[in-house]
A = this chain, B = another copy of it.
Amino acid sequence: MSDAGTTIHELRQLIRQFVDQRDWRQFHAPKNLSMALAIEAAELMEHFQWIDVETSRRLPENPDRLAAAVEELADVLSYGLALANELDIDVSDAIQAKMIKNAAKYPVDEYRGRYGPQDDGPLSE
């Protein structure tokens, strides 16, 4: 599989099959899955907890650490797709719709190089 040749639907099917084979939909209530997502996101954060922002950009230089972090990211995304399966919503639609909303909220001219309004800028401003 590769991102260029794999549809969201195919990844969702992979997750669905895994869950169905174990009869785990009984555990996959949205409330529980939202907790699972947050837990996996925290496990991903652990890899960056005590290091500097710039140092975190160099994670790919260390293949073992990269592999460990990527596993956590895979967990986050898998639970996200599992939740999409339970809610029966289209992920591509949802992301596209949200990006259109985000584009209106953060116009390019106003937010180029800035992540928030003036008063939300770095403390050093």
A residues apposed to B, CB below 8 Å: 1-9, 11-12, 14-15, 18, 21-24, 26-27, 29-32, 34-39, 41-62, 65-66, 69-71, 73-78, 80, 83-84, 86-99, 101-103, 106, 108, 111-113, 115-116, 122-124
Contacts and interface: CB of A to CB of B under 8 A. Distances in A.
Contacts of A113: 22-24, 26
B21 A108 contact: yes
Q: Which DSSP category, helix, strand, loop or mixed, fits chain A's interface? A: helix
A22 B57 contact: no
Contacts of A26: 113
Contacts of A96: 1, 14
Given A29-B56, A32-B53, A52-B52, A74 B62 contact: no
